[in-house]
Amino acid sequence: MTDLTGRVALVSGAGGSGIGRGTAQAFGGAGATVIVTARRLDAAEEAAEEIRTDGGTAHAVALDTSSSESCRAAIRAAADLCGRLDIVVHNATHGLSASVAPIDDIDAEWWDSQAAVSLAGSFYLAREAFPHLKASDAGRLILFTSLRGVAGLDPNPAYAVQKAAVRGMTRALAHEWGAYGITVNAIAPAALSKPSLDYFAAHPEARAFVEAVIPLKRMGDPRRDVGEAIVAIAGPAGQYLTGQTVVLDGGLFSAT
């Protein structure tokens, strides 16, 4: 098991019931001090309390990743609370990311609102976290892309394009920050998150189809299958992995 005792990890979008929360719980279980962030402070506090109840250490911080000021304040709060920041995981995504939206239905407002969370948010958090990750002896930035960003899958081209751009940012920062010992990787998961659950609730046939195609015959568990893998990447075992998109999908992409 990865031991991250003494490390401080900030996870965005961790106030829901999906991958962000599962990842925050996995970091808590590995001994890291977890900065649990969400747009609503009460949601972040609820998730942080779960980690504390399980014996971990966690603090709740409000964070709107679409705002550069909010990103700056959250990174500053994490450093002030803990005296350091070693790991940043940007999981937060727009609530409409799972919506069906062909290109002729996407207007500028839709495009901008989605890009503000995942793409601009990646930039804001990376920029603000950089001095702290540089000061760490094992800085880690982990961004979230998507299978749509890898393969350009339907049904939302705005989301696919922006998540592909996150992969480009991952590679660029891996090159730029490698000299400082900071690793930068992207995760493309297939796990039960709130957007995927909302989509499957509206399209139950889609879940049956996807699970039939996945070689492991199930969607991933947010903590066990995604969060624990992220913890491993953030730990000593991931020290030579950088600039990569790690696909955690039970084999789905290889089967499409």
Q: Which residues are catalytic?
A: 159
Work out the burial of residue 76: count CB atoms within 10 Å of its CB; fewer than 13 is exposed, 13-18 middle, 19 or more buried.
middle
**Cα–Cα distance measured from residue 83 to residue 63, given in angstroms and rounded to the nearest whole number:** 19
Give the whole-angstrom CA distance, residue 181 versus residue 239.
8
∠ CA 212-95-130, nearest 5°, is: 105
Instruction: Give alpha helix (H) positions in the chain.
Output: 19-29, 41-53, 68-82, 108-135, 147-151, 157-177, 194-202, 204-213, 228-234, 252-255
Structure tokens given for 43: 């949601």
> 3 — phi, psi (to 5°)?
-110, 115
Q: Which residues contact 87 (CB under 8 A, 6 or more apart)?
A: 4, 7, 8, 9, 10, 27, 32, 139, 140, 141, 142, 234
Closest CA to 220 of 246, 190, 247: 190
DSSP 226: I
